[in-house]
Amino acid sequence: MVKYLQETTVADYTTPKFLDESQKGAYNKYSEKRKKRACNRMEQKKMVLRGEAALIIAVIINSLGVLLMLQSGSGISAISSVPYAFHQVFPKLTLGTWTYIFQGVLILTLMIMRKKFVPQYLCSFIVGFVFGKMLDIHEMWIGALPTALPWRTLYFVISYILICIRIALSNRCGLPIIPTDLFPRELSEIISAKYSKVKISFDVICLATTAAMTGFILGHIYGLGIGTVLAAFTMGKGIAIVGNAMDKHIAIAPYITNHIRRHGSHNAQYAGR
């Protein structure tokens, strides 16, 4: 039996039919160990990226992606459309400033609905504040880019990829995400509704607000285009593709969470002595 277990190379770890009942238990136990060793080897081959670094990268490339999409002339993402509309109507404040004002309103709304102060929401607002500042930084130079049609097409492709990467990183970093991503997720929990329905409704309301503000006040709809529609219908799939590719090659683990877990485990062991 031992010799058979050492020599077997069954690829799918299924129990051979010719083993009797007394041997099946030993074989299954051996197969589980082999699968665990294979999984451990795969994990060890992955590049480890700290969640904090992933969040920083996500904030930087997200702000760049939003502005590149605008520079392409194909529109803006739904969650950034409302601050953009306010910026067009009231240009004395920068796009970044309107962004974190809008995100602050979303955080305040969530706290009112929960009827309590949630510290994690404050952390999310800080992330959103940094995102708003990065928008202003990128806006200082991005207007100097060429605007010929081939360049604008390239800007849209790059922005689409960057936003997909940003969302995939944010979903895996294990840290607070920006309020515009947090709001539909938390709202779906508060009102006990499906996230997909809340997310779609939130995006539609944002786009309708943008169209109404710019259309009625400025006489022309700004910020909405073919890119907005294309992103709304295809970006979910793009995020899934990027996320699956990430999972194969990168292991994202936040240092803070791991440190707390190790510290808590150490305290538990110490208390049990």
pTM listed for this prediction: 0.67
Query: Is 70 exceeded by the pLDDT of residue 82?
Result: yes
How many whole angstroms separate alpha carbon 4 and alpha carbon 219?
A: 79
Tokens at 244, concatenated: 């699956």
Q: Are 257 and 174 in contact (CB under 8 A)?
A: yes
Rounded CA gap, 50 and 101, in Å? 29
Query: Which band of pLDDT confidence, cut at 50, 70 and 90, is reported for residue 36?
Result: low
What is the Cβ-side half-sphere exposure of residue 271, based on CA atoms within 13 angstroms? Answer: 6
Q: Given a cut of 60, is residue 170 above it in pLDDT?
A: yes
- Asked whether residue 140 carries a pLDDT value surpassing 80, the answer given is yes
pLDDT at position 45 is 67
The answer to whether residues 10 and 16 touch, using CB atoms and an 8 Å cutoff, is yes
At residue 24, the pLDDT reads 56
Cβ atoms of 163 and 65 within 8 Å: the answer is yes
Q: 95-133: per-residue pLDDT in tens?
A: 889 998 999 999 999 999 998 888 888 888 888 888 888
Residue 6 has pLDDT above 50, yes or no: no
